[in-house]
């Protein structure tokens, strides 16, 4: 961006807080893409020109109008915990930092309406007195925002019961601001709310979300040690299929991953695979009754998210990769979805194929109403080419991959294309192609 | 039973309430087995000698001891709403009417412990202030007892979310009294509690149950009219698979069944098939969003179980048969479970095969962690032989049947045998074979 155009844009902002301080702009222009050595190369040095921090929707409208008028790109950012470079501005311009728009508009039985920048762990604290909690959250819950999760995520802790964000009923409504000279506020309800799910903010600036809630149970964090990974998977699947047992997380993890689990590593016996789970207290006895004598319980503790504690979910989903990266920067990961109709066989196949190159762990989830598993296995990095080969091998064996070594929506999706609804909708709300440009690569601006 | 032996037994009862008044004994010796013309013949005239109504567990122990000592059969009875003759005494003796043992021992978050005779609708009223409700109930909830449901049932309203009673976690514990000269109270916890599930009271007299609870949602009763049954099934399956949509009941019903729905029939358009559902209020918009314009909503009303109202679940499960029987006594029903991996194809096959002889309706349920459907189709009665032929035809087409035209546990089960655990356990708790004798026909008394 030319300094002049940015200066003019800043002029348009009036009293809206902004910063061009280089270290802050550099920091806010990054997310957790560095888990991938490929993205770390490809996204190196990409940065915004200015970070703008709207205080309310009126501010968002003003920024959007200014960007449209000046033809300046705008990339929205939540907590910056994505791994696909979701909030990295490829073409400079405005980084719209949503972190100040945190208001909870209302909470009703089963539903909350909140501004997009609300932190997910704060939101759960707010909801607790009503006996409710968010259905789904990423392993980065303590820093993620609800808007970032919906715009950049697909599911997480809770998906073993509720499925992912794309399942009907898991996002009730989204309010967005279009990027036009006269921006419009559009309320997307029901199925239409999916137009913003995992679109990286390319289909409108999300200002508020109406999210369905779950009853909050008294969760128990539990970790069990099994002689081998197959046994951990088999038992995990039995619990995933046990509809009478209330759970929020079911993660089998193969040795040697637990060796990297910081203070928790000392509790993990050498050579054993784990099953990490969150089980509702009234279901704990049933969980143990099914477990019987087949494995040893290593850890059993009421769920505790207070600052001094590490809840077990911070060893699962993509936090597993992070735990290993803390002491070994030469690993990365892969993101995949196993076929539900031959789940354990397919997992065994992948374990067999890759030997020590890939360390496996699964996340049991519901997907389209069926129990299956997604996974973010830890991959020993050798070369960029090998990362793409691994994607190929998974796909050839019938495992779907959302490639985490690319930064476009299309390449990072399971079907290698943008959602048709999202692509069509983008033409309505981002005619100039200024929203997070470069991420939805199949989009061609309808106006110049 | 000889009058002398019964008189001696009555002497043993002390102040425990009992009755030998013939019309009361006759009434209490029956349940809803008359839905089956075959059972109506086979169980005609079967009756107890005396109805005993224990007030507490001490009374139960005293009756059990007396029956053991005098070698008098004992058949426990809850609300008498079973359809397999579960509580019909085949060999006379004591009918143990549990309806006075209704105490709620305690309610905690997620769990209630209650005496076996507690009425299920009363229990839900008791639970409501705590924001909880029973996970599962039969369509006869307004007269059924919790003990009768666990002893004689398999699932019902709620099974679309929680699965059946046999799923781990759906019965937490059962307390039983053995039928011995010195009766023992035995607490069956976890998996062991399954020893009493659908055992018709042959494996001990259930005095108390610890049942897991569900959060109580604000339920909406909804009925939708579709052009044909296949469409109703297809949409019902889509909702059953939508894990983000909270539901308690999903019942597609083919025309002409709705014609028999009493006052509700007038709301049902000629020739149309229905989908009856209970949807949590926060999920209603998502339900409608999926429905779109493909069908007409006939009825949408907050769930209301007050005495003047007919909640929609009273048109589903085996209440469907009852609704038809009210104006046509020449029908009966069938009880079956469709294969989950070719559900709609299998349903279509059965619809095709039987033409007007069978009127179909399904109950979407979870079974073993998978979405499938059970069904209690309305069958036009021609002959006893034909009823058994129909069972055969279903089974030959890969649909499992729990034959409702037989009265033994074995013949009425999907696998045509008694559960091995239940059979083994009976030897421990009913050595003389006096508990509901004749129902577990493969049991041979271990003592005389």
A97 pLDDT exceeds 80? yes
Two tokens, residue A226: 């099994």
Name the A residues in 197-216 with CB < 8 Å from any B CB: 212-213, 215
Which of A303, A369, A372 has the most B C-beta neighbours within 10 Å, making it the best mutation to test the interface with B?
A: A369
> With an 8 Å Cβ cutoff, are B280 and A110 in contact?
yes
Name the A residues in 113-142 with CB < 8 Å from any B CB: 131, 135
Report the gap between the CA of A173 and the closest CA in chain B (Å): 10
* Burial degree of B147 (CB within 10 A; 0-12, 13-18, 19+): buried
Two tokens, residue A48: 């915004």
Interface predicted TM-score (ipTM) of this complex, two decimals: 0.95
A1 pLDDT exceeds 80? no
Chain B touched by A110 (CB under 8 Å): yes
> With an 8 Å Cβ cutoff, are A282 and B218 in contact?
no
What's residue A77's pLDDT? 97
What's residue B291's pLDDT? 96
Looking only at the bridges linking them, the beta strands covering A205-215 and A173-177 are antiparallel
The answer to whether the beta carbons of residues B154 and B163 sit under 8 Å apart is no
Which of A162, A243, A284, A364 has the most B C-beta neighbours within 10 Å, making it the best mutation to test the interface with B?
A: A243
What's residue B299's pLDDT? 96
What's residue A35's pLDDT? 95
What's residue B32's pLDDT? 95
A115 pLDDT exceeds 90? yes
Name the A residues in 360-379 with CB < 8 Å from any B CB: 366, 368-371
Average pLDDT over residues A154-168: 97
Helices (H) and strands (E) counted in chain A, each on its own, are: 13, 21
What's residue B57's pLDDT? 98
Of chain A, the percentage scoring pLDDT greater than 70 comes to 100
Q: Residue for token digits 């049947």?
A: B401
Confidence of residue A448 (pLDDT cuts 50, 70, 90): confident
The span from the CA of A94 to the CA of A5, in Å, is 11
> With an 8 Å Cβ cutoff, are B243 and A283 in contact?
no
Confidence of residue A371 (pLDDT cuts 50, 70, 90): very high
Question: Which of A176-180, B204-208, B293-297, B314-318 is predicted with the least confidence, judged by mean pLDDT?
Answer: B293-297
Q: Which of A231, A245, A225, A238 is nearest to A286 (CA)?
A: A245
pLDDT digits (tens, 9 = 90+) for A37-59: 999 999 999 999 999 999 999 99
pLDDT digits (tens, 9 = 90+) for B403-448: 999 999 999 888 888 888 999 999 999 999 999 999 999 999 988 8
> With an 8 Å Cβ cutoff, are B110 and A285 in contact?
no
Which chain A residue lies closest to B166 (C-alpha atoms)? Answer: A244
Confidence of residue A112 (pLDDT cuts 50, 70, 90): very high
> With an 8 Å Cβ cutoff, are A241 and B162 in contact?
no
Confidence of residue A78 (pLDDT cuts 50, 70, 90): very high
Two tokens, residue A287: 């969980």
What's residue B448's pLDDT? 82
Q: Which residues in A lie closer than 8 A to residue B247 (C-beta atoms)?
A: none
Which of B108, B156, B169, B366 has the most A C-beta neighbours within 10 Å, making it the best mutation to test the interface with A?
A: B169
Report the gap between the CA of A92 and the closest CA in chain B (Å): 37
What's residue B106's pLDDT? 98
The span from the CA of B250 to the CA of B235, in Å, is 10
Q: Which residues in A lie closer than 8 A to residue B192 (C-beta atoms)?
A: 289
Report the gap between the CA of A85 and the closest CA in chain B (Å): 28
**What average pLDDT is seen over chain A?**
96
What's residue B71's pLDDT? 97
What's residue A293's pLDDT? 87
pLDDT digits (tens, 9 = 90+) for A238-255: 999 999 999 999 999 999
Looking only at the bridges linking them, the beta strands covering A132-134 and A205-215 are antiparallel
What's residue A294's pLDDT? 86
> With an 8 Å Cβ cutoff, are B190 and A289 in contact?
yes
Q: Which residues in B lie closer than 8 A to residue A246 (C-beta atoms)?
A: 110, 169
Q: Alpha helices of A18-175 — where are they, by DSSP H?
A: 22-28, 37-42, 57-70, 120-127, 146-152, 159-162
DSSP B294: S
**What average pLDDT is seen over chain B?**
96
Inter-chain Cβ pairs, chain A and chain B, closer than 8 A: 134
Of chain A, the percentage scoring pLDDT greater than 90 comes to 96
User: What DSSP string describes B209-259?
Assistant: EEEEEEEPP-EEEEEEEESSHHHHHHHHHHHHH-TTS-EEEEEEE-TTGGG
A116 pLDDT exceeds 90? yes
Q: How far is CA B248 from CA A164, A208, B200, B316, B430, in A?
A: 20, 30, 26, 12, 37
CB nearest to B369's CB, from A189, A280, A371: A371
> With an 8 Å Cβ cutoff, are B191 and A109 in contact?
no
What's residue A198's pLDDT? 95
Q: How far is CA B262 from CA A351, B35, B266, B326, B405, in A?
A: 60, 18, 8, 9, 26
DSSP A52: E
pLDDT digits (tens, 9 = 90+) for B351-397: 999 999 999 999 999 999 999 999 999 999 999 999 999 999 999 99
Q: Which residues in A lie closer than 8 A to residue B364 (C-beta atoms)?
A: none
pLDDT digits (tens, 9 = 90+) for A191-228: 999 999 999 999 999 999 999 999 999 999 999 999 99
A299 pLDDT exceeds 90? yes
Name the B residues in 273-302 with CB < 8 Å from any A CB: 280-283, 285-290
Q: Which residues in A lie closer than 8 A to residue B108 (C-beta atoms)?
A: 282
The angle that helices A284-291 and A229-241 make with each other, rounded to 10 degrees, is 140
What's residue A218's pLDDT? 97
Q: In what order do the strands lie in the sheet with A370-375?
A: A362-367, A370-375, A336-337, A400-401
Name the A residues in 232-261 with CB < 8 Å from any B CB: 240-246
> With an 8 Å Cβ cutoff, are B369 and A243 in contact?
yes
B1 pLDDT exceeds 80? no
The answer to whether the beta carbons of residues A31 and A88 sit under 8 Å apart is yes
Q: What is the dihedral of CA A35, A385, A403, A322, to 10 degrees?
A: -20
Report the gap between the CA of A279 and the closest CA in chain B (Å): 11
């Amino acid at each position: 961006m030319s300094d002049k155009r940015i200066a003019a844009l800043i002029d348009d902002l009036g009293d809206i807080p902004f910063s061009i301080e280089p270290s802050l702009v550099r920091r806010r222009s990054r997310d957790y893409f560095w888990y991938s050595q490929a993205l770390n190369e490809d996204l190196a040095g990409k940065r915004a020109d200015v970070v703008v921090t709207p205080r309310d929707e009126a501010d968002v409208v003003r920024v959007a109008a200014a960007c449209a008028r000046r033809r300046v790109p705008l990339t929205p950012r939540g907590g910056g915990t994505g791994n696909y470079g979701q909030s990295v501005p490829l073409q400079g311009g405005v980084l719209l930092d949503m972190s100040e728009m945190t208001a909870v508009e209302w909470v009703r039985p089963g539903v909350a309406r909140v501004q997009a920048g609300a932190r997910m762990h704060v939101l759960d604290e707010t909801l607790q007195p009503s006996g409710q909690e968010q259905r789904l959250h990423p392993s980065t819950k303590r820093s993620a925002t609800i808007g970032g999760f919906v715009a950049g995520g697909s599911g997480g802790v809770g998906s073993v019961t509720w499925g992912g964000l794309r399942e009907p009923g898991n996002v009730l409504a989204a309010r967005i601001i279009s990027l036009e000279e006269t921006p419009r506020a559009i309320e997307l309800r029901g199925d239409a709310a999916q137009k913003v799910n995992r679109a990286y903010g390319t289909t409108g600036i999300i200002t508020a979300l109406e999210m369905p809630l779950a009853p909050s149970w008294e969760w128990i964090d539990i970790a069990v040690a099994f002689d081998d990974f197959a046994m951990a998977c088999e038992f995990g699947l039995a619990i995933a299929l046990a509809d009478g047992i209330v759970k929020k997380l079911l993660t089998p993890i193969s040795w040697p991953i637990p060796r990297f689990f910081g203070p928790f590593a000392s509790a993990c016996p050498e050579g054993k695979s784990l099953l990490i789970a969150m089980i509702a207290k009234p279901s704990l006895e049933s969980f143990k009754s099914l477990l019987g004598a087949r494995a040893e319980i290593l850890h059993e503790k009421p769920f505790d998210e207070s600052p001094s504690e590490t809840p077990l979910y911070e060893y699962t989903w993509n936090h597993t990769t992070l735990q290993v990266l803390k002491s070994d920067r030469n690993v990365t990961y892969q993101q995949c979805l196993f076929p539900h109709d031959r789940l354990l066989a397919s997992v065994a196949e992948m374990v067999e194929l890759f030997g020590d190159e890939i360390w496996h762990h699964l996340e049991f989830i519901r997907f389209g109403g069926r129990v299956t598993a997604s996974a973010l296995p830890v991959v020993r990095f050798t070369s960029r080419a090998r990362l793409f080969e691994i994607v190929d091998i998974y796909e050839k064996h019938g495992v779907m991959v959302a490639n985490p070594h690319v930064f476009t929506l299309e390449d990072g999706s399971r079907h290698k294309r943008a959602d048709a609804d999202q692509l069509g909708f983008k033409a309505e709300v981002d005619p100039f192609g200024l929203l997070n440009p470069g991420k939805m690569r199949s989009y061609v601006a309808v106006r110049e």
